[in-house]
């Protein structure tokens, strides 16, 4: 059986639902020796800003149980070097590129997106409104629905490319944030970014991360991510979703699709195994073949929930 792996996230068409997450896949080119970049559904590149950014002083990372904390601070080469040095090579390799962007202010976000414009080598723009590791910008927008709405609305006219908004899980209600982003003009939602965490060296009584707190990623966050995907899918059934959070195996990919994601992004797992994303594309095709699933898109949002019981006092 030939399995149709293609998925459509609104106007964003991907050859398969396996993408890679921003901040864990560099500019894609670093992985060329481990993965056929053109075989992936998409590559979300390291978050780009209007000017190059140095990032935070070390220590920037530490391992935690089933995951890691990071506070890199959005170190990146800046949009100009990305467009002149990285993007042509990615395009040459047949990569489907998501340009992940951020800024300290609404004007900076808009400037980066305007610079990308309608560049045909970019498949979509992904707004990072959820980085917990910078003093300004990032999560400031992601935590406030009104600010998020205003930011997305301000950026929306700057490009005709599909606009993806990557949401922060560090909110009371993910659906409120999702609605604010969609009302502002988001075509697709990515969820989730990292969860704010803290790890302490008990000998020195210092935080293990220089920024004090960091973003938790890896398998530890997968159930939280999955729950948020499911909630947003229920509340906004027509809005396409990239599911992100601790995905390492084909079973994890399937969980996210069933919960309601249309595609997934592989994050921290690429640090552990640089070839994992390419392998998951093949394994997903094999799984569908073995299970008689002709179109992978048909799996999306097929969770069979049981009715929750009424209160049962004795």
Partner 1 sequence: MVVNEALRILRTVRYDAAHFSVFLQAGSIAAAAKPGQFVMVQAGDGLRPYLRRAFSVADVTTVAGVPGFELVVRAVGVGTEALGRFAEGTPIPVLGPLGVPFPIDDLKQPDRVALVAGGIGLAPLVLLSRRLAERGIPADLFYGGRNESEVLKRPDFERFLGAHRCRYATDDGSLGKKGRVTDILGSALEAGTSYRRVYACGPTPMFRTLAGILDKAGIEGSFALESEMACGFGVCLGCVLPGRDGRFHTICTEGPCLPPTAIDWSRV
Residue among 138, 130, 236 nearest 183 (CA): 236
- Interface with partner 1 includes 157 (CB under 8 A)? no
Q: Is 78 in the site for partner 1 (CB under 8 A)?
A: no
Of 88, 93, 164, the closest CA to residue 120 belongs to 88
For residue 62, the minimal CB distance to partner 1 (Å) is 7
Instruction: Considering the complex, state which of residue 219 and residue 301 has its C-beta at the smaller distance from partner 1.
Output: 219
Q: How far is the CB of 76 from partner 1 (least distance, A)?
A: 9
Among 16, 21, 31, 123, binds partner 1 (CB under 8 A): 31
The correct pick among 36, 63, 80, 286 for binding partner 1 (CB under 8 A) is: 63
Instruction: Find the shortest distance in angstroms from Cβ 19 to partner 1.
Output: 16
Task: Give how many residues touch partner 1 by CB under 8 A.
Answer: 33
| Residue 274 near partner 1 by CB under 8 A | yes
Using the minimum distance from each CB to partner 1, give the nearer residue, 12 or 216.
216
- The question of whether 53 is a catalytic residue gets the answer no
β-sheet bridge partners, residue 203: none
Is residue 72 part of the contact set for partner 1 (CB under 8 A)? yes
* Single residue of 22, 44, 70, 168 touching partner 1 by CB under 8 A: 70
The crossing angle, in degrees rounded to 10, of helices 276-290 and 250-259 is 70
Tell which one of 18, 19, 21, 24 touches partner 1 (CB under 8 A): 24
Q: How far is the CB of 208 from partner 1 (least distance, A)?
A: 9
* DSSP secondary structure letters along the chain: ---B--EEETTEEESSSEEE-TTSSTTSGGGTTTS-GGGSSEEEPSPB-SS-B--PPSP-EEEETTEEEE-----B--HHHIIIIIHHHHHHTT--EEEEE--SSHHHHHHHHHHHTT-TT-SEEEEE---TTSSSSTHHHHT-HHHHHHHHHHHGGG-SS-EEEE--S-SS-HHHHHHHHHHHT-SEEEE--PEEEE-EETTTTEESSTTSEEEEESGGGHHHHHHHHHHHHHH-TTS-EEEESS--SHHHHHHHHHHT-SEEEE-THHHH-TTHHHHHHHHHHHHHHHTT-SBGGGGTT---PPPPPPP---
**Binds partner 1 by CB under 8 A, chosen from 100, 270, 277, 300:** 270
Does residue 168 interact with partner 1 by CB under 8 A? no
61 binding partner 1? (CB under 8 A) = yes
Pick from 75, 105, 199, 213 the residue near partner 1 by CB under 8 A.
75
Identify which range of 55-63, 184-192, 199-207, 256-264 contacts partner 1 by CB under 8 A.
Answer: 55-63
59 binds partner 1 (CB under 8 A): yes
Report the residue from 66, 107, 135, 294 that binds partner 1 according to the rule CB under 8 A.
Answer: 66
| Catalytic residue set | 131
Provide the binding-site residues for partner 1, judged by CB under 8 A: 24-26, 30-31, 33-34, 54-55, 57-68, 70, 72, 75, 218-219, 268, 270-275
């Amino acid at each position: 059986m030939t399995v149709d792996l293609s998925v459509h996230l609104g106007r964003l068409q991907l050859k398969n639902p396996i993408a890679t997450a921003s901040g864990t896949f560099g500019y894609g080119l670093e992985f060329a020796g481990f993965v056929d970049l053109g075989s992936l559904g998409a590559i979300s590149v390291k978050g780009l800003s209007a000017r190059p950014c140095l990032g935070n002083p070390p220590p920037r990372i530490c391992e935690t149980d089933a995951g890691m904390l990071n506070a890199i601070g959005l170190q990146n080469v800046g949009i100009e070097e990305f467009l002149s040095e990285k993007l042509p090579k990615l395009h040459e390799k047949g990569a489907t590129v998501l340009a992940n962007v951020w800024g300290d202010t609404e004007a900076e976000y808009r400037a980066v997106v305007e610079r990308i414009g309608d560049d045909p080598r970019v498949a979509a723009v992904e707004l990072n409104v959820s980085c917990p590791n910078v003093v300004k910008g990032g999560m400031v927008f992601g935590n406030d629905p009104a600010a998020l709405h205003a930011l997305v609305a301000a950026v929306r006219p700057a490009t005709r490319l599909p606009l993806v908004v990557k949401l922060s899980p560090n909110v009371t209600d993910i659906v409120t944030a999702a609605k604010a982003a969609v009302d502002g003009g988001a075509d697709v939602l990515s969820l989730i970014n990292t969860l704010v965490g803290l790890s302490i060296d008990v000998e020195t009584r210092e935080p293990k991360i220089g920024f004090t707190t960091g973003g938790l990623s890896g398998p530890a966050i997968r159930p939280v991510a999955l729950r948020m995907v499911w909630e947003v899918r229920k509340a906004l059934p027509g809005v396409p979703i990239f599911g992100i959070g601790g995905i390492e195996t084909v079973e994890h990919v399937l969980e996210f699709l069933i919960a309601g994601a249309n595609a997934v992004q592989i994050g921290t797992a690429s640090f552990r195994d640089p070839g994992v994303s390419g392998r998951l594309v093949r394994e997903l095709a094999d799984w569908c073949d073995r299970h008689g699933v002709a179109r992978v898109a048909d799996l999306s949002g097929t969770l069979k929930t049981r009715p929750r019981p009424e209160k049962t006092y004795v």
